[in-house]
């Protein structure tokens, strides 16, 4: 019997109303996440990729209930958290944390680094001395000096601020962490250090990650399974090696064809798939398959029917009319 997932999303959607009631402009609905289902198991890293605006960050925020879904169900360790109030969510907040993409907006400029990191720890039974020791330990863990604890966010570079955000997420010892582009502000050498650190912490403490990134090579390195999103939909999902070697959806194939290949001979033999056109307006999505307006192998049925996400074997899920036909 398969173990109960730590996170389960069942047909989750998130819609935002766009438009101003002040100017009386016609208000429209933007569907950021559309009927997405997935399981994330305890101790695994689930990578999430796709173009900017496809709904990756929104899905991450839904899973830790920073947003309340418009429809669908979210379970945390078997508990339905879909409709819990902020007060009801409080006992779960230490168990789920998020590393935000923008280190400038996510750190309070009025607080010292020590105060920022210690904030979740002060809600525990740790005394001041233990809190201070924990702050110093965490700073050292991500390559920052202990003396940085007394400084303010504006005194750091973007990369250093991102590391402070990572420390804050780890401070309370959560079970589930949404990593929303956590290495995008770091230089290449620091990226590897941070990813290795996340892996080591996972092995030591059993963390579960949703790892959102544009860096497909890094996603392949750190993830156990990977999901591919397009225009709010999950179009493919599989174990990492399966996805990178046997990608089945035309959009996934186009994404993977853009990954640089170190071997010059293999690189010369590979063929880049160039998608035509732009991503459709999410407030006016195409009928049928959301990818059909850019798909190089589109069929007539794609305009009429939205393909279901189907398991084609070995935990490999694909939403494409061509798969299996």
Could you please state the CATH topology (level 3) that the domain comprising 7-95+174-318 is classified under: Rossmann fold (3.40.50)
**pLDDT band, residue 235 (cuts 50/70/90):** very high
How many Å apart are CA 206 and CA 229, to the nearest integer? 26
Mean pLDDT of the chain: 89
Residue 99 vs residue 237, higher pLDDT: 237
How many Å apart are CA 146 and CA 121, to the nearest integer? 17
CB-count burial class (<10 Å; 0-12, 13-18, 19+) for 302: buried
| Buried/exposed 48-71: b ≥16 CB within 10 Å, e otherwise | bbbeeebbbbbbbbbbbbebebbe
Region for 169 from its dihedrals, namely left if φ exceeds 0, alpha if ψ lies in -120 to 50, beta otherwise:
alpha
Residue 304 has pLDDT above 70, yes or no: yes
Return the structure tokens found at 141: 């863990």
Share in percent of the chain as helix, strand, coil (round to 5): 35, 20, 45
DSSP category for residue 147: G
Q: Indicate the pTM of the whole model.
A: 0.89
pLDDT in tens, 179-227: 998 887 777 777 887 788 889 888 888 899 999 998 898 999 999 999 9
Return the structure tokens found at 118: 């210690």
**What pLDDT score does 173 carry?**
81
Q: What is the mean pLDDT of residues 134-161?
A: 87
Return the structure tokens found at 17: 């109303």
**Element (DSSP H or E) covering residue 98:** strand 96-99
Q: What is the mean pLDDT of residues 237-256?
A: 95
The answer to whether the CB of 307 falls within 8 A of the CB of 222 is no
**Element (DSSP H or E) covering residue 37:** strand 28-40
Q: What is the mean pLDDT of residues 268-297?
A: 86
**What pLDDT score does 167 carry?**
87
**Can you give the residue ranges of every domain in the chain?**
7-95+174-318
């Amino acid at each position: 019997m398969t173990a109960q997932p730590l996170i389960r999303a069942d047909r989750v959607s998130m819609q935002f109303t766009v438009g101003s009631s002040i100017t009386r402009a016609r208000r429209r609905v933007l569907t950021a996440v559309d009927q997405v289902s997935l399981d994330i198991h305890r101790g695994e890293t689930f990578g999430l990729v796709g173009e900017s605006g496809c709904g990756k960050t929104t899905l991450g925020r839904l899973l830790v209930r920073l947003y309340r879904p418009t429809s669908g169900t979210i379970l945390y360790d078997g508990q339905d958290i879909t409709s819990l109030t902020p007060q009801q969510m409080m006992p779960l907040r230490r168990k789920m944390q998020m590393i935000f993409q923008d280190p400038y907006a996510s750190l309070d400029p009025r607080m010292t680094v020590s105060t920022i990191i210690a904030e979740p720890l002060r809600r525990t039974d740790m005394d001041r001395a233990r809190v201070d020791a924990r702050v110093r330990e965490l700073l050292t863990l991500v390559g920052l000096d202990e003396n940085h604890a007394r400084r303010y966010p504006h005194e750091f570079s973007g990369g250093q601020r991102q590391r402070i955000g990572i420390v804050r997420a780890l401070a309370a010892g959560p079970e589930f962490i949404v990593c929303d582009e956590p290495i995008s502000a770091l230089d290449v050498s620091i990226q590897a250090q941070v990813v290795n650190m996340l892996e080591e912490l996972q092995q030591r403490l059993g963390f579960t990650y949703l790892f959102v990134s544009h860096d497909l090579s890094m996603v392949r390195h750190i993830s156990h399974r990977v999901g591919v999103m397009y225009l709010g939909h999950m179009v493919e999902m599989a174990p990492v090696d399966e996805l990178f070697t046997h990608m089945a959806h035309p959009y996934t194939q186009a994404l993977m064809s853009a990954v640089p290949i170190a071997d010059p001979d293999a690189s010369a033999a590979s063929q880049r798939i160039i998608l035509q056109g732009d991503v459709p307006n999410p407030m006016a999505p195409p009928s049928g398959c959301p990818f059909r307006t850019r798909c190089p192998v589109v069929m007539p049925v794609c305009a009429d029917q939205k393909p279901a996400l189907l398991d084609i074997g070995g935990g490999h899920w694909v939403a494409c009319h061509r798969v299996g036909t």
